[in-house]
Structure 1
C-alpha cells in the first residue's frame, strides 16, 4: 500500500487518494526499481535492478525496440523521451514516478470520460476506471495510442472516496471451476442413465 504522505505530496491533485491507491494496486509495483520489458507481446526476462543506476541502464538498453514499464506506476518509459539518452533517473524515483504516472492516468481518465460523454455521476466512474486501467495496460484506446494522445481536458466523473466498486464482473472474473464441476456432474448423470438403459434391454 502506498504511503499517504507520498500520495499527498506527489500524486496528481485531480485524483482522490483512494483512486491513486487503487490505480497503483491495479497496474503498478511496490518496488520503485521494478522494470518490465515486453516485445511482440512477450515478457522478456531481465536482471533485477538493485540501484537506480542499474535500473536506468536496463531501461536505456531496451527503450526503442521494446515496451518498457517502470517504477511504482509502471510508467511507459518510452513516452518520457524520444531517445534513450534523454531518459532521466526521475523514472525510478518514487515521487517523480508517481507524479508522472498519476498525471498520465488522469489524462487517460479524461479521454475515456469524453468517450462516455463526460458524465459527472459517481455511478459511472467504476466503468470509466476499469476502461482506463485496461487502456493503461494496453497503451491504446479506440485503436490509438493513449499515452501520446492530447489531453481533452474537461471534468472527470465524480470519484468515490473509497474503493471503486466494479459495475459487473467481466468474463475473466467469472468463476470457471463451478461451471466445469457442474458439467462433469451432467456427464456423470448421463452415463448412469445410459448404463441403466442398457441393463434394462439385456433383461
Structure 2
C-alpha cells in the first residue's frame, strides 16, 4: 500500500486522499518501477526491472509497438512521449508519478462524471467511480479516448461510498475485463500505441 503521507503530499488537489487510495489500489501498482505492457487485450510478459535504468530501457523498448503503463499509478507512458516529445526519467519517481497520474485520472473522472450528468445520488456514485477506473485502465469511455478528451473543467469529485451489495470485486473485474477486450479492438488512436517520433536510444541507458 502506498504511504498516506506520500499521497497527501503528491496527489492532485482535486482528488481527496481517499479517492487516490482507491484509485491506486484498484488501477495502480505497489512498485514504483512496475511496468505493464499490453498488445491489444493480451498482457506481454516482460522481465521485472529492478533499477530505474532497467525500467526506462523496458519502456523505451516497447513504446510505439505496445501499450505501456508505468509506476504507482500505471501512468500511460506513451502519452508523455506524444505531449512532451521525450521520455521523462521522473515518470518513475514515486511522487512525480502520483502527481501526473492523479492529475490525469482527475480529468478522466471528470469526463465520466459529466457523461453521467454530474450526479449527486450516493447510490450512483460508486458506478461512476467504477467506470472512471475502467476508463483509466482501457483509455476509453463510451467510445471516447479519455486521455485525449477535453477537460470538462471544474467540478466536485465526490468520494464514492463503500461497495454496494451485488457490486462485488469479481463482478467489477468481469466488467473491467470486458471493457479492456472491447477497447482493444480500437486502439489505433490510443496515445500509448502511437509510433515513436524521436530517438530515445540515449535515455535511461546504463552506464558502461
Q: TM-score range by the shorter chain?
A: 0.7 to 0.9
Query: How many pairs were matched up?
Result: 172
> Higher mean Cα deviation, 149-158 or 73-82?
149-158
Q: Which of structures 1 and 2 has the bigger CA Rg?
A: 1
2:117 is matched with 117
The structural deviation recorded for 1:173 is 2.5
| Structure 2 residue matching 1:86: 3-state secondary structure | coil
The structural deviation recorded for 1:95 is 0.4
* CA deviation profile, 1:25-78 (whole Å, cap 9, x unmatched): 001111000001111221111111111111011101111110000000111100
In structure 1, which of residues 155, 166, 169 is the aligned counterpart of residue 167 of structure 2? 169
| Structure 2 residue matching 1:169: 3-state secondary structure | coil
* 5+ long unaligned stretches in structure 1: 175-203
* 5+ long unaligned stretches in structure 2: 173-208
* CA deviation profile, 1:164-189 (whole Å, cap 9, x unmatched): 43474269529xxxxxxxxxxxxxxx
2:82 is matched with 82
* CA deviation profile, 1:126-167 (whole Å, cap 9, x unmatched): 11100001111111011121111111113134325xx64347
1:63 is matched with 63
Normalised to the residue count of structure 1, the TM-score between the two structures is 0.78
Q: Higher relative contact order at CA 8 Å, sep ≥6: structure 1 or structure 2?
A: 2
2:100 is matched with 100
Q: CA RMSD in A?
A: 2.2
> Higher mean Cα deviation, 150-159 or 88-97?
150-159
In the aligned structure 2, how far is the partner of 1:140 from the partner of 1:87? Answer: 23
Cα pair 2:18 2:159 within 8 Å, conserved: no
The structural deviation recorded for 1:20 is 0.6
User: Cα gap change, 1:166/1:134 in structure 2, threshold over 3 Å: closer, same or farther?
Assistant: farther
* CA deviation profile, 1:110-138 (whole Å, cap 9, x unmatched): 00110011123444321110000111111
Cα pair 2:72 2:97 within 8 Å, conserved: yes
User: Cα gap change, 1:13/1:94 in structure 2, threshold over 3 Å: closer, same or farther?
Assistant: same
